[in-house]
Structures are given as C-alpha cells and as structure tokens.
Amino acid sequence: MNVNIVKDKAAIAKMAYDIMLDMINSKDEVTLGLATGSSPEGIYELFRKNKPNVSHVTTVNLDEYIGLDAEHDQSYAYFMNKHLFHHLNFKQTFLPNGMNSDFAGECAHYDEILEENTPDLQLLGIGNNGHIAFNEPGMSFELTTNVAELAPATVEANSRYFASHDDVPKTAFSMGIKSIMQAKEILLIASGVGKAEAIKGMLEGPVTNQMPASILQQHPKVTVIIDEDAASLLSKK
C-alpha cells in the first residue's frame, strides 16, 4: 500500500481529487467506483468547482439503503445527485435500486453492471469498525453484491443523518468485498481520531474478516490518504 499522511480533510480531498483526475484524463473510457458519506464530500466539492470533462466516465456506487427511493433526502442516490451527478456530464451512473423488493434479483443485476463496468479506480471510506461499503465485521470476503445487515455501530454512526434512530435503515444493498477487490486501483480516505483504530487494523493487523478493510493488504494497488489524527495509532509513520 502507498500510505500518505496529510494535515487535514482539505489536504485529503485535494490529493484524492488529483489522483481521480489523473485517472479520468488517462484514457478514452474510464470507470470510477464512488462512495458516499462525509468522507468524500470535499472531493466532490472540488469536482463541482473545477468541472472537469467526464463525458467519457461511467460511475458505479458501492451501496444503497434498502427501502429509500432516489428522492428520499437520505438515500445515496439523492446524495450523489446533490453532490456530484447533477453538476457534471457523466456518461453513465449506476447505484443499486433500494426500492427493488426482489433482493436476489437486484444483487444479480448489480453484479452484471459491475462485470461490465469494472472500476479503474475505486474510492473507499472506512467505518469505525473497519467496514468498507457495508461489508461489516464477520462477513465473507467471497461475497459479491449482497443484502447487508448493518451493524449496530454503523446504524448508530448513521443516525446523525436521520430525524430519529428508528428511522435509520437497517439493511442495504452493498458491493461485496470480492467485487471491491476486482477494481484495478483502490483509493481509501479517512480522517479523524475515530478512524484511527480501524486504520491501524487495516494497515498493521492480520487479514481477517473481523476487520474487513484488512483485505486491502492483498490488493496489488492501493493508495491510502489519511490525516494525522487517523494515523495517530500507527506504529510506523
């Protein structure tokens, strides 16, 4: 892994944006794997500000809550439209359909999309418990798109976005670890002391599904960008 420790979230966003822009400009056809949540907001702000040409870029997102339609202000489709898709001219954009009640069918359909659109670069955040996408501790590394049961810690972390704890979805369609590992390159970002334990486990711990992000040790091309707080527990700087 190529690990970069920078000053703050703004520096993370700038470095990550530059890496993504280099990928966008490197080929005539590019697929980006994208993430939601607070971690990539600074990156998407730079995309909105600079408005690079992305007419040749297809995007595939990691996950979507089950039971929230694209117009719900906490759905990931809404998030992506608000922060990115409505501002730039992407060729195609894909997310799982959170309203599809045929769970197996939706998972199979998204697997087909991923097979046809393997990310050249996959952007990832990391949960406090080490999850990537919604692949929680204990889930198999061999899963492709799946219906993920959100861990209590994840539900609690996401509750700040909802009116009440009871409103937080408890399940989501999620790209599986096996799917994520198919990406040609991976870019993981994290900031804050709350992510320090997960970052230490990902970089310095054993590869175990109790720390899902640790599997990235086995990927041939991973760039990690973290701030000093997220790096605070690492034994090697």
Q: Active-site positions?
A: 63, 129, 131, 136
What is the largest distance, in Å, between two alpha-carbon atoms of the chain?
47
Q: What would you report as the CA-atom Rg of the chain, rounded to the nearest whole angstrom?
A: 17
User: Contact 181/215 with Cβ under 8 angstroms?
Assistant: yes
Distance CA(113)–CA(133), nearest Å, equals: 17
User: Contact 85/44 with Cβ under 8 angstroms?
Assistant: no
Task: Give the count of alpha carbons within 13 A of 79, CB side only.
Answer: 20
Pull the structure tokens for residue 139: 């889930």
Going 38 to 43 to 48 to 52, the CA torsion angle's sign is negative
Bridge partners for 173 per DSSP: 64, 147
User: Contact 117/60 with Cβ under 8 angstroms?
Assistant: yes
Q: How many CB atoms lie within 10 A of CB 27?
A: 11
The per-residue DSSP string of 16-59 comes to HHHHHHHHHTT-SSEEEEE--SSTTHHHHHHHHHH----TTEEE
Q: How many CB atoms lie within 10 A of CB 219?
A: 16
146: enclosing H helix or E strand:
strand 146-149
